[in-house]
């Protein structure tokens, strides 16, 4: 039993969201992004739950790819950052991985260390992200060098949006125009869309689309699109009330005494804090759901605990569940109150036991089977 903080992962919701991503992709294929331990949802569990429907998985680095291969994942796995050292090429070859090529030194390494088996390369253009990728005017030369290598079987033409999560983004349109102009006439499959692009930029949907946040039931937008009303949150972060006390008006709560009760107040203490990944900078008033009621966070979030105002809800008892985000409380709302983004809240999750429900996966540790 132990400490009540828990992240419950609904694998049926994950599959539901994947189907939505596939519908948006039309005739294109979905490369499910499961980097960063599937945004703390469990990469092995999520990939296994999608193994019968997903066309491929994308990870950040080779360590994440090898974890999936060890779990029996046979679909294509894409290294989104490519390889960091030439020594990794032997593992790319052995485990039959796809790799992004985004810099000249990677082409040089592949040329000097040809693989025994044909590899699919995802050639990345920096169309306006300003991060990694070949400049548009250097892209075709890179493509030609790769196509001349006997060990390269396919080259996927690839780029990445910087501002697709902004409504009517001119920058996103400029990126798409740049990508199309500099890849005109080049054969090969194309891939541009992340979650935001897949939802809002129909003209950018390609042969491969790379949703991440969308799969986990979180909108990449601050405004509401129709699609966001169809996706289902995959994670519910919850804990329980471990203390209830009444304090008089004028009393302060928490480190720094930054919150003062304006009335006689009932305070509840919830066993979760910033060491678990709940944002320390969540402001007073950030909602927490208890027994179907939304109550405000009060006082600073501590390492292991946070405090809420229970005064206006009835019959609360020690042991009652507190939902920090999930189906009834959007993680995007919590992120906004903390001055951050849902990606960071998910990826910062720590120390919290993970419980799975939904799809039954034999042999998955800590899986609770829930029959439909």
Our answer to whether residue 293 is catalytic in this structure is no
Please classify residue 220 by burial: count the beta carbons closer than 10 Å to its beta carbon, then call 0-12 exposed, 13-18 middle and 19+ buried.
buried
C-alpha–C-alpha distance, residues 188 and 190, integer Å: 6
Beta-carbon-side half-sphere exposure of residue 183 (alpha carbons within 13 Å): 24
What whole-number distance in Å separates Cα of residue 352 and Cα of residue 358?
19
CA-to-CA dists, residue 269 to 239, 288, 319, 322, angstroms: 10, 12, 10, 10
Q: Any idea what the Cα angle at residue 41 is, between residues 38 and 47, rounded to 5°? A: 55
Catalytic pick from 18, 35, 139, 216?
35
124 is catalytic: no
Catalytic position from the list 202, 230, 245, 255: 255
β-pair partners for 266: 246
Do 14 and 46 contact (CB within 8 A), yes or no? yes
Q: Is 131 annotated as a binding residue?
A: yes
Q: Is 158 annotated to bind ligand?
A: no
- What does the buried/exposed string (b/e) look like for 239-268 if buried means 16 or more CB atoms within 10 Å of the residue's CB? bbbbeeeeeeeeeebbeeeebebeeebbbb
Q: Which residues are catalytic?
A: 35, 255
Specify binding-site residues.
131, 303
Specify binding-site residues for substrate.
131, 303
């Amino acid at each position: 039993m132990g400490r009540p903080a828990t992240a419950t992962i609904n694998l049926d919701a994950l599959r539901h969201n994947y189907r939505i991503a596939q519908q948006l992709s039309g005739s294109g294929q979905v490369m499910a992004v499961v980097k960063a331990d599937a945004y703390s949802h469990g990469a092995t569990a999520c990939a296994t739950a999608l193994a019968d429907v997903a066309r491929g998985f994308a990870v950040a680095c080779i360590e994440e790819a090898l974890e999936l291969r060890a779990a029996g994942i046979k679909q294509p796995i894409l290294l989104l950052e490519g390889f960091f050292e030439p020594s990794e090429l032997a593992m790319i070859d052995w485990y039959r991985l796809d790799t992004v090529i985004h810099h000249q030194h990677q082409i040089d390494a592949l040329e000097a260390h040809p693989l025994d088996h044909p590899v699919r390369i995802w050639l990345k253009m920096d169309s306006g992200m300003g991060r990694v990728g070949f400049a548009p005017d250097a892209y075709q030369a890179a493509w030609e060098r790769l196509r001349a290598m006997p060990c390269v079987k396919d080259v996927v033409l690839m780029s990445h949006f910087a501002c697709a999560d902004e409504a009517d983004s001119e920058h996103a349109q400029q990126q798409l125009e740049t990508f199309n102009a500099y890849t005109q006439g080049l054969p090969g499959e194309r891939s541009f869309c992340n979650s935001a692009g897949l939802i809002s930029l129909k003209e950018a949907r390609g042969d491969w689309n790379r949703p991440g946040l969308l799969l986990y039931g979180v909108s990449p937008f601050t405004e509401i699109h129709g699609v966001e009303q169809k996706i289902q949150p995959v994670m519910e972060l919850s804990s329980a009330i471990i203390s209830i006390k009444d304090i008089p008006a004028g009393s302060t709560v928490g480190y720094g005494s930054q919150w003062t009760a304006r009335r006689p107040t009932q305070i509840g203490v919830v066993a979760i804090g910033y060491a678990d990944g709940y944002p320390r900078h969540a402001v007073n008033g950030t909602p927490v759901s208890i027994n179907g009621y939304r109550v405000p966070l009060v006082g600073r979030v501590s390492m292991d605990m946070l405090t809420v105002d229970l005064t206006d809800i009835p019959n609360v008892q020690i042991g009652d569940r507190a939902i920090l985000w999930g189906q009834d409380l959007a993680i995007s709302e919590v992120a906004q109150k903390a001055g951050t983004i849902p990606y960071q809240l998910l990826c910062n999750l720590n120390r919290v036991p993970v419980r799975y429900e939904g799809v039954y996966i034999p042999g998955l540790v800590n899986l609770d089977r829930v029959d439909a």
